[in-house]
Amino acid sequence: MDQRGPGERERTMARLVAACAASLLLYFACFAVVLDRPLSFGWLRHEINARLARGAAIEGPKLVILAGSNGPYSHRCEIIGPLLGLPCVNAGVAVGISLDYLVARWRPLLHRGDLVYMPMEEAQYVRERAANALGPDAAIMLRHDRATLARLPPHRWLGALFSYDLRGALMAVIETALAAAGFRDPRAAVDGESNAMGDHIGHTAVLALANASTLQAARPYHPTAAQIRTGYGGVLIARFLDWAHAHGVSVIGGLPTGFDDSPIPDATIAAIRAIYETHGARFLELPNRSRYPRSAFFDTPDHLNQTWQAVHSVAVACGLAPLVAGRQRVIAGNTVCHSKQRSDDAVAVERRTASPVPISQGIASSLRPSQ
Amino acid sequence: MLFHSQPFVLGFLPACLAGCFVLGRFVGGTAALAWLLLASLFFYGWWNPPFVLLLLGSIGGNYVLGQHLLRLSRAGRRRAARAWLSGGIAANLTLLAVFKYADFLLHIVAPDAPPLGISLPLAISFFTFQQIMFLADSARQDRSDTGSLTYATFVAFFPHLIAGPIVRPKDIIPQLQQRALAPNADNIADGVMLFLLGLAKKLVLADTFGGFADTGFDAAASGAQLTLFEAWYAVLAYSLQIYFDFSGYSDMAIGLARMLNVRFPLNFASPYQSRNIAEFWRRWHITLGAFLRDYVYIPVGGSRCGTLRNCANLMGTMLLCGLWHGAAWRFVIWGGLHGLYLVAHRHCPFTLPRLLAQALTLLAVIVAWVPFRATGGAAGWSILAGMAGLHGIALPQMIVHALPPLGWIATPVEVLPWLGDARTLSFPEVSACLLLGWGIVLLLPHVHALTDRARTWALTSSFAFSMQAMFFAPHVAPFLYFRF
């Protein structure tokens, strides 16, 4: 580049600074006001809001299952709620949704006497602060929910302002165009959908066959106890537990579902348990530590297929009952907790795969008379 | 310390510039140069302090030998100079061999022997080649007299120390000798502009494509069979990653040097727009290509000999080029492929139409990246088989629904498991990113050929994304060429 005169030199510097400033302004304007991701984040927003609406509509004590997608895929309020005699909401949506955002949305709806069950995915405990600040909720808040954003700490504001990377920006353009063209989300056809309680339904063993090779190849990662103890996600969970304890909300921690050929190390489980027990909550560890054969899953280690979702839900309800004041009696009259029949039924249906849906309906309906 | 890390941008760089300019203004050029040397050694030692001693030892030894060579040449003692030069080159290459190639050579000689586990000093390939140039130029009297401080600063100069550009001593040392370390607004503005555009190439583009490439290549390494689109997308993404990563680094290095009033040569000039493989090597890693041409290919005879010998010279030079990138067969194969391409091009009896020639060159370069990136022979073959469609052709259901004729050639699947994040919309996401990346490299001029106005637009469109990646992205990937 040629040497320039003083006037030109000043203009060069000014142009440099102006380009940087304009870049930031355009970026903020685009992502806070103009662009959106109506398909991916729009779907998440819809799912979160539907669950919140269900929670707000319940009067009196309720059970809230709080996790990532392990909540709705592997747990069924439709089964657990009746077994415990509590109205239930499956509040989890996706593991990427930041816990502090979810808690900020749910806190106004949680009251003394409510029960929160948290079978959080291992990844939630070790999630880094930076990743937490850039979850999909950051973009959702920036565009649609600035009231919740205002209630979160300043580093979340900055994270929300800078939540779009190049991929996100391109997807915003693509999704906006697809939505405008009337694109129909194909997920319901291949994944199933959510019911009124927030449970994921329709993720049948038949549909799971399409994911068999992915499930066989999956190699779950288990964080170490030290990672669990120092993870930022664990800090957020501990903060929520302290708040719940102070406000009379009972919390019970739990283990996420996973492959039985990939057990969570004992030390890791102990570290997870310690987070709950040192912050006024209790912890449910099922005899099988929520481990199931790979054939019981839908598409990832966090997602049981619908048949086994029902089996696991019964096990969770039966495990929760003794830990919840006044609920032992409700469940004591139901033989489902004292029988191995439920898993045998599930296995039988799994083998028949032609009609896997009735198992959950069957279990759910068999429970109704004892409510 | 990485150019795109917060400690570098917020701490090291301002302190280094301020120290240089203040000392240059109030104490003198020598003090400023000394500060620059100390800062560069600090920069190098940030990664592994003990290796600073190795760097200093290499600089000291080569400086003494270079001065001796210059004296011998000036005295007309050419045979002695040649002998000392051979010894010096051998010593440098031995040092490189010990640290970089010992395990590789041991594995060839004794495949069952346990690895020596010698850790590789950062940038040893770069500062070794840099100093071989100095020795050769000394023996040829192709440089001026140089003080030890200037020489040490030249070798350790942080903008090019880690990953080049490989600069000729006679081009840079005079600039340092001018002691012109006073702030120059033009150079600072140009340097900052180049640095920020390089930063965007690295953080916004290279790291995005790196994620896509890693998904495919890692899957192949673990035994997965990638279908046609997964394999092609992984390789196309890697081709973009390595270009944006290394050319971004080079732009940042050129920008940093410019801030200190030092001009580096161009290292990348839109290489994927080349119309033949020889042109590609005049546009890709230009300074390495120039080094190999001037210090290896031409000295062994170049094209001034028979056809067979010329082919051998080309192959030998490119095999060395491959080996320079790393101690592994995959780099040798990559170098060998480029050697074959160059031989074929040199002796090709016909000329192709421009677009066809460009497409063929691009295809050859892309295919050669497969062994370069794949972590093993099996993974490389698997990727190539996937690119040939031998593992089938699959497309997401939503795409086949939207364009039913695609169903004739592709199997509809829920998601492609080895493409992006394996989500429903991963296919359009990766496609859009690749379209953008290839559009930039194939249709636009390179950063140094842009007008001021175009550069300003480029900065406006990228700066916010760079800041997003630098300060908010949870993971920052190192430069690919740090490994070399």
Taking only the tens place, the pLDDT of each residue in B39-67 is 999 999 988 888 999 999 999 999 999 99
Element (H, E) at A117: strand A115-118
A226 touches chain B (CB under 8 A): no
**How much is the pLDDT for A335?**
63
**How much is the pLDDT for A330?**
59
Buried/exposed A47-75: b ≥16 CB within 10 Å, e otherwise = bbebbbebbeebeebbbbbbbbbbbbbbb
* Interatomic CA distance for residues A136 and A46, integer angstroms: 13
- Percent of chain B past pLDDT 90, that is, above it, reads 59
**How much is the pLDDT for A339?**
57
Q: How confident is the model over B250-278, as pLDDT tens digits?
A: 999 999 999 999 999 999 999 999 999 99
Task: Tell me, yes or no, if B285 is annotated catalytic.
Answer: no
**How much is the pLDDT for A326?**
63
Element (H, E) at A144: helix A136-144
* Interatomic CA distance for residues B79 and B57, integer angstroms: 26
HSE-up (13 A, CA, CB side) for residue A11? 7
pTM of model > 0.90: no
Q: How confident is the model over B384-414, as pLDDT tens digits?
A: 999 999 999 999 887 888 788 888 888 888 7
Q: How confident is the model at residue B441 (pLDDT cuts 50, 70, 90)?
A: very high
B189 touches chain A (CB under 8 A): yes
Tokens of B12: 């090291």
**How much is the pLDDT for B399?**
82
- The DSSP secondary-structure symbol of A297 reads B
Element (H, E) at A193: strand A193-194
- Percent of chain B past pLDDT 70, that is, above it, reads 97
* Interatomic CA distance for residues B288 and B481, integer angstroms: 13
Is pLDDT at B312 greater than 80 in this prediction? yes
**How much is the pLDDT for A186?**
61
Residue A340 has phi, psi (to 5 degrees) of -90, 0
Tokens of B412: 């509809």
Give 3-state DSSP helix, strand, coil % of chain B, rounded to 5. 70, 0, 25
**What interface predicted TM-score (ipTM) does this complex get?**
0.86
B414 touches chain A (CB under 8 A): yes
Is pLDDT at B6 greater than 50 in this prediction? yes
The residues that bridge with A194 in the sheet, in sequence order, are A200
Tokens of B323: 């080996």
Closest Cβ opposite residue A217 in set B224, B459, B467: B224
Q: How confident is the model at residue B121 (pLDDT cuts 50, 70, 90)?
A: confident
Tokens of B148: 């030890």
Mutate to test the interface with A, among B398, B466, B472 (most CBs of A within 10 A): B472
Q: Quick check: helix, strand or coil at residue A364?
A: helix
**How much is the pLDDT for A370?**
33
Closest Cβ opposite residue A170 in set B413, B432, B473: B432
Tell me the pLDDT of chain A (371 aa) as tens digits. 445 566 666 777 888 999 999 999 999 999 998 888 888 888 889 889 999 999 999 988 999 999 999 999 999 999 999 989 899 999 988 888 999 999 999 999 999 999 999 999 999 999 988 888 888 999 999 999 999 999 999 999 999 999 999 999 999 998 888 888 877 666 655 566 888 899 999 888 888 887 787 788 788 899 999 999 999 999 999 999 999 999 999 999 999 999 999 999 999 999 999 999 999 999 999 999 999 999 999 988 889 999 999 999 999 999 998 887 666 555 555 666 765 545 554 444 444 433 333 444 444 444 433 32
Is pLDDT at B328 greater than 70 in this prediction? yes
**How much is the pLDDT for A154?**
92
Instruction: Choose, from B325, B338, B345, B391, the residue flagged as catalytic.
Output: B325
A27 touches chain B (CB under 8 A): yes
Tokens of B243: 């270009």
* Interatomic CA distance for residues A27 and A53, integer angstroms: 33
Could you tell me which chain B residue has the CA closest to the CA of A4? B186
Residue B417 has phi, psi (to 5 degrees) of -65, -20
Could you tell me which chain A residue has the CA closest to the CA of B414? A190
DSSP codes, B73-134: HHTT-HHHHHHHHHHHHHHHHHHHIIIIIHHHHHHHH-TTSPP--PPPPTTHHHHHHHHHHH
Tokens of A312: 């696991």
- The DSSP secondary-structure symbol of A39 reads T
Residue B173 has phi, psi (to 5 degrees) of -55, -45
Q: Quick check: helix, strand or coil at residue A291?
A: strand
* Interatomic CA distance for residues B321 and B329, integer angstroms: 12
**How much is the pLDDT for A354?**
34
Q: Quick check: helix, strand or coil at residue A115?
A: strand
